[in-house]
Structure formats: C-alpha cells, structure tokens
C-alpha cells in the first residue's frame, strides 16, 4: 500500500530536549516536505526537499532541521524544542514530474512543556 509513515503519532517533551520525528514514504517520490498545522493558520511549510541531499526552507523554518540522506526518508529534527513548537506536524511527498498531488502522513501531535 502506498503510504507516508510518520512516527511517533504523539509526543510530549520538555523545553530543550532534542527530538526527531521520522518520515518515510514507499512511493519512490522525489519530493518530500514538512508542515505544521495550527488552528486558524492552516498548514505552513517548514522545509522541503526536491531530492536526496537537496533541502530548502519553507515559510517557517526557524527552530527546525531536516536531512535527506535517502530518497525514502525525511526526518524532522528539533534540536532545542520550545513551547511555541507545540503543534500538529505532517510529512508529505509527491512526484512533481507526474503531478502535484501531495500524499500526507497521519500526523504527529507534539507538545513541548
């Protein structure tokens, strides 16, 4: 089954404790991206990657890091989480050469205390 898999589904942490949210896709998509969803603000792009070793900032990249060492994986790293990073996070992938349809994961609800 074609899917984007995020882990964990829920995460509670404390300020300053480094964490990683993993994302993996099995569709051989070149493009992967991370979004955060906040009430009244919709989905805002954090980082995106057009291919292996190619990443770029989205609209709200501050406080986040990403890496793309393999085509299927695109982890999101919060090196020093702060309470304003409490949000619902989504990973997505697509194959821009085919169409612009984004496939989303099921989301990671992060709470930073």
Partner 1 sequence: QQQVKQSPQSLIVQKGGISIINCAYENTAFDYFPWYQQFPGKGPALLIAIRPDVSEKKEGRFTISFNKSAKQFSLHIMDSQPGDSATYFCAATWNYGQNFVFGPGTRLSVLP
Interatomic CA distance for residues 48 and 50, integer angstroms = 7
CB of 90 to partner 1, least distance (A): 5
Site for partner 1 contains 50 (CB under 8 A): yes
Range in contact with partner 1 (rule: CB under 8 A) among 13-21, 61-69, 70-78, 93-101 = 93-101
CB of 56 to partner 1, least distance (A): 8
Whichever of 11 and 50 has its CB closer to partner 1, that residue is: 50
Site for partner 1 contains 101 (CB under 8 A): yes
E strand residue ranges, the chain = 4-7, 10-13, 19-25, 31-38, 42-51, 54-57, 65-66, 76-78, 87-94, 103-104, 108-112
Cα 64 to its chain centre, rounded Å, is: 10
Residues that bind partner 1 (CB under 8 A): 4, 31, 33, 35, 40-45, 48, 50, 58-59, 90, 92, 94, 96-97, 99-102, 104-107
């Amino acid at each position: 089954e074609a899917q984007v898999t995020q882990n964990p589904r829920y995460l509670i942490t404390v300020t300053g404790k480094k964490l990683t949210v993993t994302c993996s896709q099995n569709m051989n998509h070149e493009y992967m991206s991370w979004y955060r969803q906040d009430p009244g603000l919709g989905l805002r792009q954090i980082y995106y990657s057009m291919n292996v070793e190619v990443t770029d900032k989205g609209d709200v990249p501050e406080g986040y890091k990403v890496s793309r060492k393999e085509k299927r994986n695109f982890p999101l790293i919060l090196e020093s989480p702060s309470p304003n990073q409490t949000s619902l996070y989504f990973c997505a992938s697509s194959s821009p050469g085919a169409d612009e349809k984004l496939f989303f994961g099921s989301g990671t609800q992060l709470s930073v205390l």
